[in-house]
Amino acid sequence: MPVYTQPLLDHITTAALDWWLNKGSAFQQAIQEKPLLAMMESKAKTFPGGKGDIIISVKGDYGNTAAPGTGDKLVGYELSDSVVYYTPANLRQARYAWKEHHIGISLTHSELKTDGISVVDTNGEDTSEHSGRDDTVLVGILNDALEDVSEQYARGLNNLLWTNGAADAKALAGMAALVTDTPGTGTVGGLNRATYTWWRNRAYTAAMGTAVGGTPALAGWGGGVITSSATGGGTLITLLQKEYRMLTKYGGRPNTGFCGSDFLSALESELRANGNYSMTGYSGGKDISVGAISYMGTTFEYDPSLDDLGKSKRCYWFDSRDIYLVKMDGEWRHQHSPARPPDKYVMYRGITSTGQLCARRLNSAVVIDIA
């Protein structure tokens, strides 16, 4: 039975957990693909510790908003005519509170003993040498526990990135909190979207259809659920073309589209019915599949998590430069090895992450539901 001192055990388990968390590309070992999580991790930004809220300066108004038309118009003058000046005061701050997240595992010395590993306490003093084979054996024993916690971390973070934060007020709020079903109301980053209309995303949802029915002026930001149809060039295809103009109107460049399975199937059906233009046609193996569907640089990708959340008929289309994950510097996927309490022979390992999902612009994003 190999004998390990606690410091050596700490070293081996920390190295093994680090390997599982960073294996290959982002969460490659995950049971189910998590494209939103992988994209957000790859494009994440950082902010320094010691800072309060994450603050992003935004601007959607111009001129003299306190007294429109007073001194903020370009006018002609002659000779000694008096002219008027105004003071711009239109910067706003979107404020996002960073959140802390934890997941951890415990493993008793008794469980290690049953697998042939003995741990001795030496108050930090390493008293014996151990072969590389012993380290490998221990890592093999821990693989199941470490793989489990790394996958649970990935699943938990992925779920948070999709939902609106209502289920856990102490955790970050995800896409559903930024790109909402009813963009004419509510606050994002502390800014009221009933007041700042330029701070609204676009939406085609049941809730938006109801809102437009009560307030027709909201139709400028979307409408109700879309019924897919191949006629007239394809309802969804036509809508995407229209929405691209709206999403780029104020400088956005939508480049990311995540869809549920039903939405993607409807889009594929419209494409088949209206013709799939290509340079190769049915040459070679006569592959009849519809490949990845793209529009103006965006590849619409299937995200299984939308199905799991009951949103298989939904698509989010947005500019990944405008909606992104922000991590506290040095505090993302931070590993912890708490000391063993004196009255328990238990080993603990934890992972914490501190950050928030933020937006700097929302009128470059749309959420679309189909019937």
Domain count, the chain: 1
Q: What is the pLDDT of residue 294?
A: 87
| pLDDT, average across residues 247-255 | 96
When mean pLDDT is compared across 108-117, 142-151, 351-360, the lowest value belongs to 108-117
Whole-angstrom distance, CA of residue 75 vs CA of residue 82: 11
Is there a domain that residue 83 lies in? no
Q: What is the pLDDT of residue 239?
A: 96
Please report, for the domain that includes residue 21, its CATH number.
3.90.1690
What is the average pLDDT value for the chain, to the nearest integer? 86
Is there a domain that residue 77 lies in? no
Identify the three-state secondary structure at position 125: coil
Residue type for position 20: W
- Burial label, 52 (beta-carbon count in 10 A; 0-12, 13-18, 19+): exposed
Is there a domain that residue 277 lies in? yes
| pLDDT, average across residues 91-115 | 88
| CA-closest candidate to residue 366, choices 155, 132, 202, 133 | 202
Helices 235-247 and 261-274 sit at what angle, rounded to 10 degrees? 110
Whole-angstrom distance, CA of residue 152 vs CA of residue 167: 17
Query: Is residue 204 within 8 Å of 226, Cβ to Cβ?
Result: yes
Q: In whole angstroms, how large is the CA radius of gyration of the chain?
A: 27
Whole-angstrom distance, CA of residue 20 vs CA of residue 33: 16
Q: What is the pLDDT of residue 16?
A: 63
Q: Does position 27 have pLDDT exceeding 50, yes or no?
A: no
| pLDDT, average across residues 293-297 | 89
Q: What is the pLDDT of residue 106?
A: 87
Q: Does position 288 have pLDDT exceeding 80, yes or no?
A: no
Is there a domain that residue 217 lies in? yes
Q: Does position 278 have pLDDT exceeding 70, yes or no?
A: no
Is there a domain that residue 76 lies in? no
| CA-closest candidate to residue 247, choices 326, 186, 315, 158 | 315
Q: 181 lies in which domain range? A: 3-58+92-369
When mean pLDDT is compared across 54-58, 123-127, 241-245, the lowest value belongs to 123-127
Number of helical (H) and strand (E) elements in the chain, helices listed first: 9, 18
Task: With cut-offs at 50, 70 and 90, classify the pLDDT of residue 158.
Answer: very high
Is there a domain that residue 350 lies in? yes
- Burial label, 30 (beta-carbon count in 10 A; 0-12, 13-18, 19+): middle
The DSSP bridge partners found for residue 188 are 191
Task: With cut-offs at 50, 70 and 90, classify the pLDDT of residue 286.
Answer: low
Is there a domain that residue 63 lies in? no
Confidence (pTM): 0.85
Q: Does position 276 have pLDDT exceeding 80, yes or no?
A: no
Which residues does 110 contact at the CB level (< 8 Å), separation at least 6? 345
Which alpha helices (H) appear in the chain, and where do they start and end?
A: 6-21, 35-42, 109-114, 132-162, 175-178, 206-214, 235-247, 261-274, 304-308
Q: What is the pLDDT of residues 180-209, one digit of tens each?
A: 999 999 999 999 999 999 999 999 999 999
Is there a domain that residue 80 lies in? no
